[in-house]
Chain A
């Protein structure tokens, strides 16, 4: 079939949490790169079109080229010789790989955490406190006549969020699309997103909690101190009118981003927002959704939850899972200098963690799995080059609203998948630790 290009229909883009599944990819006749990514947004296009299979070694040990087998052995040795091995990342790989990573942490009595702990971890904690009312994105596409975004800029971070899910779609219940919806934005500055909003509240930085709490009071008809006007920069009249609109809509949704969860107040902010949405259900149907960033961060939350009972920041030191954000979250485990080995899958803490954590990373053996060299992989004892999920590797991913999809890879990679590498390491660890990992018939 040389000479003819291949077309993949309904391919899935894992660049962001929108996980659009309507991409039409054209693969060059040589089967080495993608020439067209129809329907993809600007971010998706660069994700697909700039992906090339590069001429990296499959693995490096101490910066020197090594075979896959040698690297698996070296990685397994790092793991079994550690007292407090920590696994981190996981939001840009398949659920199949995530499962292997949790298994390794379990068999090593180690620690596992995902990038959730540095993005919507506070949302997960707030959720445990107050619950949430939520919906899959199709329900919002079909029914939401009031759409609000808080602390996020989807026009630039999730470019197709408006078009596919929340603002523009026409539906049986909203035949005129955007005209039938009210769009509201809350942010500390005007953005590309706020330009399309019918209502824009530009609040003072760091006043999210106060504003949300005032809105709760208004929903419930409780008295509160007027100083909130000055504190947030939003007049009470505007706020009252907004809350009334929220109560009067038929189906409301409040999306929120890291502008809420990673600023002053963190899980208090997220909790206030989730509870506001629950309060609104006394009057109408109202839901909320965090606009998750990475392509399969939602899958990571799901896999870690179903295997351990907890969503992130899980520790197996005692032979069973324990959960404590701040104690078992990677930034903290590294910042306190506790972990004595680190495995990073599809993430780069070496470039974005605190100086103290990075200093510690440089002092312990590190294993990395990534399609590209990263700052972290520069310091790695063992660095694997792996194939890219969605483009080269099949598997399962979860959209930001927990809808699972099966990937449709475009072409083969010479590199192994994260899943393959992790499974090989797991099997070697089980051998070294004397853990029998397959069923053997047992004579009575």
Chain B
């Protein structure tokens, strides 16, 4: 049986190879893009269709302890959104936090073939991997939370920088992580140890440590660059959601001092105004900074009106939101590693702050001079479900639609931003950049996000429609690793994707330093902590750059 496929007559958008809507043949063999296939290979006539690389989500929350807490937490969001079993495709439930099978199928149905779970305490990595095994079709990886790690903080306050870097490498190996995530750096210690307080300034001393958030940020930016990780430090800045937080965001970016850094859901960090009062848009200031600093990339974290779930390692933030909304709330601390907060949320057009957040996200997309460094996300499910991506794409591509939608939202908020002055309409090429090529490039996934020879055969084919929301909502064909998931709109087969992780080199002597810490602070044995290679069913180690 041949695994070759030929796709002909399609309009191809492949920005990493500079292809902008050319009619071009794409050939697939054994899961990869190839030059040519035998003449008698099965063929898709993609006339009237658009051929794109599979989508890559650089930041979402789809697997692990906090995601599963949110699933159990909200039966009310599921009964109206079920996903029946289709032959061997497993059933599930949706809402803003779908069950695992449904998550995989729904991503793939939109044409997404890779997604990165963005916040995993290493102690919970085993749980995350178990869920990712049950998240079919797509390839996936996860970032481990290291910016509130008691052991790393102790090394850092003593200035033991080499051991710090070795320990970061050990942790990535032990947890099978893909990258390093910082969430509200330094905020856990005041939250857990000092009566639910927080840190607010990058240069404020963190209670309990001789450290500041800036020192932690700098150390992890340096460690990720020095270790040659494919993706740099992935930062959820301090002061998320607070009026006036844009200065914290700019200071965080400055801390990189020209080294690579990724700021995530930057929309939530682009606010002016005074603490405790209504926020204003500082999208222009944030965009200007990123436009002028090529070492910095970001994903937007667009807010979409409707149902969402706040789930984050930033526990103090959710406590604040809980006190504003008086909704049910979860707090979940992980020893020595992380905090976590969850609450149901809904973004509403008529509310000033929600409308402002919506507009700021769009401003950030449209003001970015370099789409390769301002990529698409809703911080699923925090800004809204990934199921909103088609609508978001339409908002970016269709000025008229954007204005109609803006007219439905709080006018005081909309008029306080420059959204209505932004005439830009993104092209299909640019959409292919922000949803495929750029996230793959920022992740260092050289075999993804493009359709060049040697790349993974992760391909989406859409009917070319005027209504881009309708178009991106239902792919006509989805091919993942050369296998059909959707063929002519129909589910075809169920299969597993790979787990992507890194294995940076480290000196094994570091384990002798870490072991006593574990004996004192953790409740599981040091030798039971690392995840065995055999635990991962189908893994792929993405290489790190060799250290020079």
Q: Give the Cβ gap from B133 to chain A, nearest Cβ, in Å.
A: 9
Q: Check A436–B43 contact: CB distance below 8 A.
A: no
Q: How far is the CB of A5 from chain B (nearest CB, A)?
A: 20
Contact yes or no, B79 A134, CB < 8 A = no
- A164 interface contact, C-beta 8 A: yes
CA A284 to CA B331, docked complex, whole Å: 13
Give chain A's interface secondary structure class. mixed
| Stretch from B48-56, B66-74, B229-237, B264-272 that touches the partner | B66-74
Task: Report which of A132, A396, A442 forms a contact with B330, defined as CB distance below 8 A.
Answer: A132
Q: Kindly provide the distance from the CB of B479 to the nearest chain A CB, expressed in whole angstroms.
A: 10
Residue A56 is within 8 A (CB to CB) of chain B in the complex: no
A251 at the interface (CB under 8 A from B): yes
Residues from chain A with a CB closer than 8 A to the CB of B527 are 9-10
- Does B391 make an interface contact (CB < 8 A)? no
The answer to whether A322 and B79 touch across the interface, beta carbons within 8 angstroms, is yes
- Interface-located stretch among B108-116, B440-448, B490-498: B490-498
Q: A307-329: which have CB < 8 Å to B? A: 307-311, 316, 318-323
Q: Could you tell me if B525 and A10 are in contact, using CB atoms closer than 8 angstroms?
A: yes
User: Which residues of A (255-272) have their CB < 8 Å from a CB of B?
Assistant: none
CA distance A23 to B96 in the complex (A): 41
B95–A138 CB distance below 8 A: no
Chain A residues near B2 (CB, 8 Å)? 443
Q: Are A142 and B487 in contact (CB under 8 A)?
A: no
User: B286 interface residue, CB < 8 Å from A?
Assistant: no
* Distance from A60 Cβ to chain B, minimum over Cβ atoms (Å): 31
Residues of B within 8 A of A402 (CB): 65, 124, 127
Q: Are A99 and B95 in contact (CB under 8 A)?
A: no
Query: Which of B12-20, B98-106, B287-295 is the interface stretch?
Result: B98-106
Q: Are A436 and B88 interface neighbours, CB within 8 A? A: yes
User: Judging by beta carbons under 8 Å apart, are A307 and B92 in contact?
Assistant: yes
Residues from chain B with a CB closer than 8 A to the CB of A22 are: 525
Candidates A127, A250, A278, A308; contact of B93 at CB < 8 Å: A308
Whether, in the assembled complex, A176 has its beta carbon less than 8 Å from a beta carbon of chain B, the answer is no
Could you say which residues of chain B place their CB within 8 Å of the CB of A142? Answer: 335-336, 521
Scan residues 92-133 of chain A and give those whose CB is less than 8 A from a CB of chain B.
95, 99, 103, 106-107, 109, 124, 127-133
Number of interface residues of A (CB under 8 A): 77
**Binary contact readout A271-289 vs B (1 if CB under 8 angstroms, 0 otherwise):** 0000000100101110100
Alpha-carbon separation in the docked complex, A283 to B319 (Å): 12
Distance A430 CA – B17 CA, assembled complex (angstroms): 44
Name the residue on A nearest B525 (C-beta): A10
Q: Is the CB of A398 within 8 A of B521?
A: no
Residues A310 and B93 in contact, CB atoms below 8 Å apart: yes
A7–B520 CA distance with the chains assembled, in angstroms: 24
The smallest beta-carbon distance between A251 and chain B, in angstroms, is 7
Q: Which residues of B contact A172 (CB under 8 A)?
A: 520-521
Are B523 and A136 in contact (CB-based, < 8 A)?
yes
Return the contact of A301 from the options B72, B84, B524 (Cβ within 8 A). B72
Q: Which residues of A contact B99 (CB under 8 A)?
A: 305-309, 321
Name B95's closest neighbour in chain A (CB-CB): A309
Contact B487 A444 (CB under 8 A): yes
What residues of chain B lie closer than 8 Å to A95, measured between beta carbons?
Answer: 130
Q: Can you list 8 residue pairs at the A/B interface with Cβ under 8 Å? A: A141-B335, A142-B335, A308-B92, A319-B85, A320-B84, A406-B528, A408-B528, A436-B493
Seen from chain A, the residues whose Cβ lies within 8 Å of a Cβ on chain B are 9-10, 12, 21-22, 95, 99, 103, 106-107, 109, 124, 127-139, 141-143, 164-165, 171-173, 250-251, 278, 281, 283-285, 287, 301-303, 305-311, 316, 318-323, 396, 398, 402-406, 408, 430, 435-444
